[in-house]
Amino acid sequence: MEKSLEAKQKKRAQWAWYLFDFGNSAYAAVVLLAVYAAYFKQSVVGTAQGSALWGLSLTISMLVVAIISPFLGALADYSGRKKLLLFVMTAISIIFTGLLFFVQKGDILLGMVLFIVAEIGYRSGQVFYNSLLVDIADEDEIAKVSGNGWAFGSIGGIVCLLIVLVLIQTNPGNTTFVRLSMLITAVFFALFAIPTFLYIKEPHRPQKKNGKSLFRVAVERLSKTIKSVMHYKEFLKFMIALLIYNDGIIAALDFAAIIGAVIFGVTTVELIIFVIIVQITNVIGAFVYGILGEKIGLKNALVNSLVVMLISVVGMLFVPNKMGYFIVGSLAGFAMAGVQSLDRTLVSVFAPKNRNAEFYGFFSLAGRTSSIIGPGVMGLAATGLSAWILNFLVKNNLASAADPNAMQVAEKIGHRFALVTLVFFLLVGMMPLLFVNEEEGRKAAKISDEAEA
C-alpha cells in the first residue's frame, strides 16, 4: 500500500514537471521562434541591422546567465531550495515577457532590454528545472522522463501558438495583436508552472555551511567544481563538445524566424504555422530519441541527432522556396528535440547525485558560454555579408545604395550564406563527442556517490 502511494506521488510529480515544460515552451515558441524575433527584426528595427541587434540581445542575456548559473546551482545544492530559486527566475521571465506588449516600432532599446531580462529568467530557471529531474525519476527511467518532458513541452508550444494564430489571423496587419501575443504567452507560462511548485516534493537536503555565507560557499564550491570536473573525464569531454556544437543549435533556434522572414518572405501567420509543424516534429523527435537513448545509449543517440541536425542546416543552404523551408525546418525540429533532451539526460547520469544541481550549473555555464558566441556570430555574419553584397552591387554599378530591391536581394544572400557558420559549429562540435565513453562516465559518478555515502 505504501509503495503504491509512493508510486502515485512520483507519477504526479512527473506530470507536474511535464506541465512546467508545457508552459515554458510557449515562451520559446512565441518569443524566440515564431513571433517576437521576426517582429523585432522586421517591425521594431525594420532594417538589416535588426539581425545584428537581435544577436547582440541574445549574446548579452547568455553572458549574464553564463556568469550567474554556476553560482545559482551551487547555492541550490547548499540551501536545498531549488524550487524557490526556480520560482524566482520563472516569475522574472513571466513578468518581462508580458511587458514585451509595450514594445512598438522604433522602441529598439526597450525591446532589447525587456527581452534580455525575460531571457535571463527563462534560461536561469532551466538550471533548477533540469536539476529536479533526479527528484522525480529513478536512474533507469531518467531518459524516458526527460524525453517525455521535452515532448509535452513541445505540445504546450503548439497549443499557445494555435491561440496566437487565431488572434493574429483574424486581425491581419494589426501589430497590436502581435504584441498581445506576448501577454497571452506570459499568462500561459504562469498557469502551467503552478503544478511544479505544488506537487514536486523536493527533498530538503541543505549541506553544512560551517558559518560561511551562502555566496562565499557558492564561490568556494564553484572553484572546487571546476577543479573536480577535471577528474570526471567523460563529463569534461562532453562539455567541450557542447561548448562548440551548442553554438550551432542555439543560433539555428534563435534565427529560425528571421531566416524564414528574410530569405523566404514568410509572413507572421506562416511563421506561426511553420513553428507549429516544427513543434509537432519536435514531439516525435523527443519520444523517438528518448527510446533510442535507452536502446543504443545516450551518447550514440546524441551523435545521431546532431548528424540529422547537420543535414537539415546544409539543406537550408540550398532549398529554393517556402515549401523547402518548411520541410527542412521540420527535420531540424525533429533533430533538435533529440539534441536538447539528451544533453540534459547525459548530465544527470554523469553527475554524482549529491552534487546534481552543481553539475547542472556547470552544464548551464558551458551551454550559455557557447550560446554567447553562436547567435552573435550568426547575427554579425548575416548583417556583414548583406552589407558587403550590397556594397559589391553598388561598386559594380548593378544597383544604387538606396534601391530597396537591391537591399532585399543583398539581405537574402547574406542571411543564406551566414548559415555556413552553423555548419561549422555542428561539425566541429561532434568531433570531441565521438570520444566520450558513456559507461565510464556513469561509473565515475557512482564511485563518487559511494565514496561520499
User: Which amino acid is it at 260?
Assistant: G
For the stretch 181-204, what's the b/e string if a residue is b when 16 or more beta carbons lie within 10 angstroms of its beta carbon? bbebbbebbbebbebbeebbebee
Confidence band, pLDDT 50/70/90 cuts, at residue 353: confident
Q: What pLDDT is recorded for position 403?
A: 78
User: Counting beta carbons within 10 angstroms of the beta carbon of residue 215, is it exposed (0 to 12), middle (13 to 18) or buried (19 or more)?
Assistant: exposed
| pLDDT at res. 103 | 95
3 lies in a domain? Answer: no
pLDDT in tens, 400-427: 777 778 888 888 888 888 899 999 999 9
pLDDT of residue 424: 93
Task: Give pLDDT, residue 211.
Answer: 64
What average pLDDT does the segment 393-406 reach? 78
Alpha carbon of residue 177 to chain centroid: 25
219 lies in some domain:
no
Task: Residue 120: name the closest of 53, 65, 75, 83 by CA.
Answer: 65
Q: Over the stretch 201-221, which tens digit does the pLDDT of each residue have? A: 876 565 665 666 667 776 776
Mean pLDDT of 349-376: 76
Nearest to 258 by CA among 236, 275, 279: 275
Which has more confidence, 219 or 33?
33
**C-alpha to C-alpha distance for 394 and 203, rounded to whole angstroms:** 66
User: What does the chain come to in residues?
Assistant: 453
247 has a pLDDT exceeding 60: yes
pLDDT in tens, 146-192: 778 877 887 888 899 999 989 888 887 788 989 999 999 999 999 99
Percent of the chain past pLDDT 70, that is, above it, reads 91
Which 8-state DSSP code applies to residue 100?
G
Contact 37, 54 (CB under 8 A): yes
Distance from C-alpha of 338 to C-alpha of 309, rounded to nearest angstrom: 9
Side chain identity at residue 344, one-letter code = R
210 located within any domain: no
Mean pLDDT of the chain: 85
Cα–Cα distances (Å) from 197 to 83, 91, 404, 406, in that order, read 7, 12, 52, 53
pLDDT(42) > 70: yes
Side-chain half-sphere CA neighbours of 255 within 13 A = 36
Interval 70-91 mean pLDDT:
80
In which domain, by residue range, is 414 found? Answer: 9-200+224-452
- Within 8 A by CB and 6+ apart from 396, the residues are none
Q: What CA–CA distance (Å, rounded) separates 261 from 413?
A: 13
Split into its structural domains, the chain has a count of: 1
Residue 382 is assigned to a structural domain of this protein: yes
Region 343-366: mean pLDDT is 77
H-type alpha helices, 35-81: 36-39, 49-79
| In a domain? residue 320 | yes
- CATH code at position 305: 1.20.1250.20
What is the band of 134 on the pLDDT scale with cuts at 50, 70, 90? confident
- Is residue 48 over pLDDT 80? no
Q: State the maximum Cα–Cα separation within the chain, in Å, rounded to a whole number.
A: 83
In a domain, 218, yes or no: no
Letter for the amino acid at 411?
E
Cell, residue 72? 545559482
**Residue 372 to residues 181, 243, 248: CA-CA distances in angstroms?**
27, 10, 11
Q: What pLDDT is recorded for position 120?
A: 94
How many C-beta atoms lie closer than 10 Å to residue 11's C-beta? 11
Instruction: Count other C-beta atoms under 10 Å from residue 437's C-beta.
Output: 13
Grid coordinates standing for 119? 531571457
Please compute, for residue 286, the number of CA atoms within 13 A of its CA located in the half-sphere on the CB side: 24
Q: Which three cell numbers stand for residue 360?
A: 547542472
| The Cα angle at residue 427 between residues 426 and 430, in degrees rounded to 5 | 85
| Rounded average pLDDT over 290-305 | 90
Residue 76: CB atoms within 10 A of its CB come to 26
With cell 567544481, the residue in question is: 225
CA distance 373 to 366: 11
Q: Are 282 and 334 in contact (CB under 8 A)?
A: yes
Radius of gyration of the chain (CA): 22
* Per-residue pLDDT band at 22 (split at 50, 70, 90): very high
Q: Which of 111-115, 438-442, 449-453 has the lowest mean pLDDT?
A: 449-453
DSSP conformation class of 43? I
| Alpha helices (runs of H) in 396-437, residue ranges in sequence order | 404-418, 420-433
In a domain, 249, yes or no: yes
Angle, nearest 10°, between helix axes 233-264 and 214-229? Answer: 100
Say if residue 323's pLDDT is above 80: yes
Mean pLDDT of 272-291: 85
Note whether residue 231 is domain-resident: yes
